[in-house]
């Protein structure tokens, strides 16, 4: 499963998105819209670390990395690329 699909699945499972909808545009601000709050970011971080076998540092947990689905995808892809593994951790 790719990063964007996984993030959307997480957001649906956490009740951020209505079931059966992908109504949030990839570049829509999850923070400004109130869809993702600080507690939600920490839940998302735990999810991403588990799903993609990443180590997300405290310094990585900044709004710029979690602003939108697109920025989350870019952040995860960059983290996956920096660890040098060919496997993105997707199932």
For the stretch 67-91, pLDDT in tens is 999 999 999 999 998 765 444 444 4
For 20, 85, 87, the CA distances from 66, given in Å and listed in that order, are 22, 23, 23
Per-residue pLDDT, 79: 94
In this prediction the pTM is: 0.82
For the stretch 29-51, pLDDT in tens is 999 988 888 888 999 999 999 99
């Amino acid at each position: 499963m790719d990063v964007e699909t996984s993030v959307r699945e997480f957001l649906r499972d956490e009740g951020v998105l209505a079931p059966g909808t992908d109504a949030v545009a990839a570049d829509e601000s999850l923070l400004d819209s109130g869809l993702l709050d600080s507690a939600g970011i920490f839940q998302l971080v735990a999810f991403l670390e588990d799903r993609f076998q990443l180590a997300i540092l405290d310094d990585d947990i900044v709004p710029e990395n979690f602003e939108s689905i697109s920025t989350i995808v870019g952040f995860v892809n960059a983290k996956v690329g920096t660890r040098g593994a060919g496997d993105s951790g997707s199932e």
